[in-house]
Amino acid sequence: MLQFVPGSDSLVIWNDRVNGKFVSHLFNIYSKKEKILPFAIYTLNPDGIHAVTTDFERIQDTRSGYGYAGIADSNSAELAPKNAGIYLCNLQTGKKELIINYSQINNLPLVADERTLKDRAAQKNWFNHLLFNTDGSRFIFLHRWRAKSKKNMGLATLMYTSDLKGENIRLVDPSNYSSHFIWRDKNHIAAWTKQPTHGNGFYVFTDGKPEETIVLNQGKMSVNGHNTYNPGNQNWILNDTYPDEKRFQHVYLYNIESDTKIPLGDFFLPKEYKGEWRCDTHPQSSNSGKLVCIDCPTETGGRQLVLMDISDIIRN
């Protein structure tokens, strides 16, 4: 999770395991000064001061490859513990405060079938994929558990948002199918999910106003992918796909206004890249929106970053 600290062109932060604890390194790339913080971060607030995080050892225990290995979950026997969950962190003071716990969320009222409620109560619960909105006032978190009632012991997923105190918690997507998502602005979230109105697809949710949910596109963006809005022009969505039958992953731009899809590249994923070791392309834009960076296996083995210039496309 190496990234620049918002508002700074010199501070970077990344997670590590040191002396049996998860930490993060706050490093100045010019002065070389470093500060080690006593927590691993998940998502940074745009204010450059705060972060929220969760229990990476619990994620690793429940879904290998998404957490960090090497430290046991002290609550591994607990389905929904009260002493762990989501924490508000301060990069300046190094303090971490528990603001949302598993038991609290597991006991929230839920309009669902009896099987879903039984699954949630009987399975180990965890949090995943935290992300601040564009002004840092709220963040998303996914509440997950293994659902026996879903095919192949799939994931059950509820998408919530919260303020920085762990209060005013809102259920955004109650479908149990929330997947990749991105904040468009401080109030709207574009996510792949399954809704009663149109089935599988990308939808735009309005945080706090579930009645304003709309389907985004099902023709040009018909499969799940890692979607983001272009920072320079939000008419453009950057997206990708998982490997097709020939093991190609497709990276593309989609223009909402003109309903135009522009391929950026088809990237082959060798068969040995699978499961925990797969290499999703995870396309990301530069701050200007003119460059796109993806993860990609190389022909000689290993992984590489590929940089693409899309300035001529988004200008049109």
Residue whose entry in the numeric block shows the structure tokens 């919260």 = 162
**Average pLDDT of the segment spanning 159-175:** 96
- Which pLDDT band holds residue 21 (cuts at 50, 70, 90)? very high
- Which pLDDT band holds residue 316 (cuts at 50, 70, 90)? low
Residue 150 pLDDT exceeds 60: no
Residue 151 pLDDT exceeds 70: no
Question: What was the pLDDT predicted at 109?
Answer: 85
**Average pLDDT of the segment spanning 210-226:** 93
- The model's pLDDT over 93-131, given as tens digits with 9 standing for 90+, comes to 999 999 999 999 999 888 777 777 888 888 899 999 999
Residue 196 pLDDT exceeds 50: yes
Q: What type of residue is 42?
A: Y
Residue 187 pLDDT exceeds 90: yes
**Average pLDDT of the segment spanning 74-89:** 97
**Average pLDDT of the segment spanning 247-271:** 95
Residue 218 pLDDT exceeds 90: no
**Average pLDDT of the segment spanning 71-91:** 97
**Average pLDDT of the segment spanning 16-30:** 97
Average pLDDT, the chain: 93
Task: Domain ranges for the chain, please list them.
Answer: 1-184, 219-316
The model's pTM: 0.93
- Which pLDDT band holds residue 152 (cuts at 50, 70, 90)? very low
